[in-house]
Amino acid sequence: MDSLSQEVGNLLRQKGLTLGTVESATGGLISHLITNVPGSSDYYMGSVISYSNEIKVRVVGVKETTLKEYGAVSYQVAEEIAAVGRKLLGVDICLADTGIAGPGGATEGKPVGLFYIGMSHKGGTFSLKHKF
């Protein structure tokens, strides 16, 4: 992962872009990997770790209706926290995650290992579904 973090950092630096994260299921792991790269303060602005739904709403600004309608582990929430996080952190690119890391927490239709990774930038906001 160190080489990937370095490669991403080099690209951000070359393009003059800033990055921020809003993490849920990873609990700060993405931020840790980014900040392990020397000089990451050139492009990495910070993170919000929104593990609970309360923090997703109160600090990040996720709509309660989104959480109630789709659940915290959904592409809708991943995209919303990425988009809102981009504005909140004042960055060019915001990465976000939400998922079920396990070993507990699975529900019908949402197994352990289900994650949504969201990204927001000036060109738009999108997410990818992953089963780890």
Question: 19-23 and 44-49: which strand pairing?
Answer: parallel
Q: Cβ distance 6 to 37 under 8 Å?
A: yes
Q: What is the pLDDT along the chain (132 residues), one digit of tens a residue?
A: 578 999 999 999 999 999 999 999 999 999 999 999 999 999 999 999 999 999 999 999 999 999 999 999 999 999 999 999 999 999 999 999 999 998 888 888 899 999 999 999 999 999 999 999
Calculate the CA 106 to chain-centre distance.
20
130: how many CB neighbours lie within 10 A of its CB?
12
